[in-house]
Amino acid sequence: MFEEFMGIPAHPLLLHAAVVFVPLLALLTIGYALVAPIRPHTRWVLGLLAVGAPLAALVTKLSGDAFLERMQAANRVTPEFLPKLETHQEFGDITLWATIGLAIVALALVRFVAPRGADASADGRPGRPLTLALQVLSVVAAGVAIYYVFRTGDSGAKAVWEGQ
């Protein structure tokens, strides 16, 4: 299912969604956490990105796994080249989990942090300690996700450009 799109390997096409949506999720999560005036305007966008970015990372990972299987079945991967691809695959796995973690933090921000920036509001949202904890978690989770998107992409690009 994730192997080809119109005769072209799907992985090089689909990875662009993860490369765009994961950093967007990271930046918007940090913005939502730290810049209270943008919260009312970006709340739904952050919620949608928190669902879309992990899906993009998952589809990219599955297409990459299918692509590697296809290349191995066609005997197009040399034993010397396989470790580079496995390293890229491991980074992709970590990227998926980092993106899921970031999405959970983003959804927690949307749910628990008051859109108007107040510490506690009439709708029963928790106060300042939870907001502060989520702000710290958002910066850490965003940093980890961006780091692994970069490492995954870098290892994949090096594998392609350095060749077998």
Residue 33: predicted pLDDT: 96
Phi then psi dihedrals of residue 118, to 5 deg: -75, 150
Whether residue 5 is contained in a domain is answered as no
Which domain does 90 fall in, by range?
17-162
- Summarize pLDDT for 129-164 with one digit per residue, the tens: 999 999 999 999 999 999 999 999 999 999 988 875
Provide the domain count of the chain: 1
- Summarize pLDDT for 52-80 with one digit per residue, the tens: 999 999 999 999 999 999 999 999 999 99
Whether residue 6 is contained in a domain is answered as no
pLDDT confidence of 115, banded at 50, 70, 90?
confident
CA distance 114 to 121: 7
Which ranges of the chain does DSSP label H, i.e. alpha helix? 10-34, 39-73, 82-112, 128-162
Whether pTM > 0.85 for this model: the answer is yes
More confident residue, 85 or 121: 85
Whether residue 8 is contained in a domain is answered as no
What whole-number percentage of the chain has pLDDT above 90? 78
> Mean pLDDT across the chain, nearest whole number?
91
Whether residue 1 is contained in a domain is answered as no
Whether residue 10 is contained in a domain is answered as no
